[in-house]
Amino acid sequence: MHILITAGPTREYLDDVRYLSNASSGRMGYALAAAAIDRGHTVTLISGPVSISAPAGCHVIAVESTQQMYEACVERFADCDGVIGTAAVCDYTIKNRIAGKISKTGQSLTLELVETIDVLAELGRQKGTRWIVGFALESQDARYNAVRKLYQKNCDAIVLNSPQVISSEETSVDLIDQSESVIEHWSGSKTTVARLLMSWIDEHLPGRIR
């Protein structure tokens, strides 16, 4: 299979030097890329800014903003059999980016933010017979919100995790399919969980290939 994987954070600049982002390390997405390659798949890895090296054998496309990630995904989606969306994209961007650097004035500053494009939901609208596995990082009403995202993004399955796993080398996840049930629970290193998830994908999703 040819698998498209998104990983890492995105950045939304407020001015020429400051940006909104998050603490995603990209480790989960990069571990999945390595696991997929080890199982003989072709991998296109679309990554936001991270400080780790990509596994040998995958095609890496570096992006920064959410819009750039979306455009890169759409451009390559037609050539892929499935998508794993681990990227922690920014949900908001500034309505009007300020040129130069914002200077202190001694006064409070109000910035108007607008929602960014939902990358995985847009791919879900275009999926056809391709499969999509999403990730949902939730801190409250976790399972309810994960199931909501499963349908909102037209995923075949969604991986539920928590904010505690950000930047960690360990993780603990629930895999939820369209039955809305937790069908697998895995804990351990992100490398180990990535291998387990790829094994599940190979067993359950290849039949959805075009």
Q: 164-208, pLDDT tens digit by residue? A: 888 788 999 999 999 999 999 999 999 999 999 999 999 999 755
Helices (H), 20-172: 27-38, 66-77, 119-125, 142-152
Query: What is the rounded average pLDDT of the residues 9-13?
Result: 96
160 within 8 A of 134, measured Cβ to Cβ: no
DSSP 103: P
Question: Which of these, 38, 9, 51, lies nearest to 135 by C-alpha position?
Answer: 9
Question: Which of these, 154, 152, 202, 193, lies nearest to 175 by C-alpha position?
Answer: 193
> Is 22 in the active site?
yes
Is the whole-model pTM more than 0.85? yes
SS3 assignment, position 30: helix
Q: 94-143, pLDDT tens digit by residue? A: 999 989 998 888 899 888 999 999 999 999 999 999 999 999 988 888 88
pLDDT tier at 210 (50, 70, 90 boundaries)? Answer: very low
CATH of 2-95+111-208, one of 3.20.20.70, 3.40.50.10300, 3.30.43.10, 3.40.50.12780: 3.40.50.10300
107 within 8 A of 77, measured Cβ to Cβ: no
Q: 140-169, pLDDT tens digit by residue? A: 888 899 999 999 999 999 999 988 888 788
Q: What is the pLDDT of residue 194?
A: 97
Extents of the domains making up the chain: 2-95+111-208
Candidates 22, 145, 154, 161; catalytic one: 22
Q: What is the pLDDT of residue 207?
A: 55
Question: Which of these, 124, 120, 134, lies nearest to 84 by C-alpha position?
Answer: 134
